[in-house]
Structures are given as structure tokens and as C-alpha cells.
Amino acid sequence: MAATLERLDGRIALVTGATQGIGRAIAQRLASLGADVIVTASGRDPDKLAETVGLIAAAGRRAHSIAVDLTDAAARADLIDRAESALGPIHILVNNAASAGAFAPLSKIDLPARRAAFEVNVHAPVDLIQAALPAMRAAGWGRILNITSETVTQPPIPYATPPKYIHGLVAYGASKAALDRVTRGLAAELHGTGIHVNAVKPYKICASENALALARATLPRNPDWIEGVEMMAEASAILIASSLTGVVANSREVLAMTQSPLYSLDGSAVIGDWATIPELPDV
């Protein structure tokens, strides 16, 4: 029996890194369930952030955007306050923004790049969680979702992709592994409070705008590695709008273990299931 998703009417969500791709898709799916949504990005592409706001508003929900540099602890210190001033207390926090710091093997990646990865992928989520928790505790209800990565696991040899791609993401994977540990520890700490904490990652390659070229190159040889942004959005919706907590899993695992269908981003149609391989858009 598929998971029953709770309506999110009256809930306010904050989704970081939402100019496009996974962050935008999650924001749209939460809006389809009734949530009002605040989206953030670095501010480098205000037009795309405005597009995300428009999609949420088109779903009939309140929407707001905030430009913030999550690499800067001082700049992000008042993000939750700014979000609450815009729409109200935050009930749902989705830590989607991420940074690789630099694409370089561990034998060469420098300290500033390593720090940049951990700043965005670990320290920023923890800071935002700590700032959002008082309102969640007051409401007796909260959902925290961290977006993690398959790169937390070292692939077996021989590699299915060129070694440079594997070695270049070790520091990034290490930061996401730390985020996984944060997720499990916080879920245990908050158990019984009504605040649920989970993490989800793409199965292999999510065919978002940034990964579309890689998805096209991989599709002929490993079609089962590819998923659409709808898969991540649906898995995120399940982990937010259900009673699950302490889950750290990939998107397909979430749909499979809950026997849930795959919905369109507006929630209006079933478009597949956990095994669905998307049709990639033309160049």
C-alpha cells in the first residue's frame, strides 16, 4: 500500500538552492501539496529564482525568494529570520544547496576548496536547522530534509566512469557523508518531538539541467542510472509529508519501500514508479 501523504496546507517551507533542478522541483511538489514556499539561491541568477517563485505562485501558493550567500556564515545568520518575516514560521526546511568546493582529487584539492565544500554542505545546513528549530518546537511539528549524494560511497573498481570523475568528488562526498551523520544523529535527538529529520539522494544521476549532458552520455550504456527531477521531488515529498524519520536513502529506495507512485511535479498525474527511466529533453 502506498504511503499516504499528509496535506501541507498552512505549512511554510524553505528550500535552499532552488533556481533550477532538484531544488526547484522539490519546491513545486511541496506547493502542490499545499505548502507556501520560500526559495533561496546565491543571487547570481535572479531571473531563474524569479521563475521558481512564479511556478509556486501558479500552483496557488504564497511564494517568496531570498538571495543569500550560504558560504558566508554572517550572510546566512539571519536567513531564517528573513524567511519568517516574509511568510511566517518555518515548518519545513530543505537543505538542497551544495558546493563541491573544487573539482580536484584529494591529493591536490587545497584547504580553501575543502573548507568551501564543508561550509555549504555541512555548516550551513546545521546553522539553518538550529535557527529553524525553535519555531518547529513551538508548533510541535517540523520536517527537516537534507539532500545528500551517492558520492558518499567509494565506487568499486573497475570504475564505470572515468577515474577523474570519481577522484574529483572525494572531498564533496566526504562533506555529504558528514551531512548523513548529522541527519541520523538529529533524527535520534528529536525523536518524539514531532520534528522528523531525513535525507535523500539521487539513485545515480538526476537529469537536472546541470547533469543533463552526463545523463545523455550515460543513458545508452546504463539507462537504469538515470532519473528525472520528479523522482527526487516525489521522494522528498514522501519524507516530508509522512511519518518517516531517520531515513537516509536514495530516491528510488524511498518510492520502493513505501510502494508509492511517481507523480508529476504539480501532483496531478501518476507518471511512473520507482523504476521509471525518463525521456531526456532534446538539445
pLDDT digits (tens, 9 = 90+) for 139-153: 999 999 999 999 999
pLDDT, tens digit, 9 for 90 and up, residues 101-130: 999 999 999 999 999 999 999 999 999 999
Mean pLDDT of all residues belonging to the chain: 94
Residue 212 has a pLDDT of 79
Residue 182 has a pLDDT of 98
Q: What percent of the chain has pLDDT over 90?
A: 82
pLDDT, tens digit, 9 for 90 and up, residues 62-98: 999 999 999 999 999 999 999 999 999 999 999 999 9
Find the mean pLDDT for residues 238-257: 98
Query: CA–CA separation, 186 vs 193, rounded Å?
Result: 11
pTM: 0.95
Q: Which residues are catalytic?
A: 172
pLDDT at 2 over 90: no
Q: Which residues of 81-111 are buried (b: 16+ CB within 10 A; e: fewer)?
A: eebbebbebbbbbbbbbbbbbbebeeeebee
CATH number listed for the domain at residues 12-272: 3.40.50.720
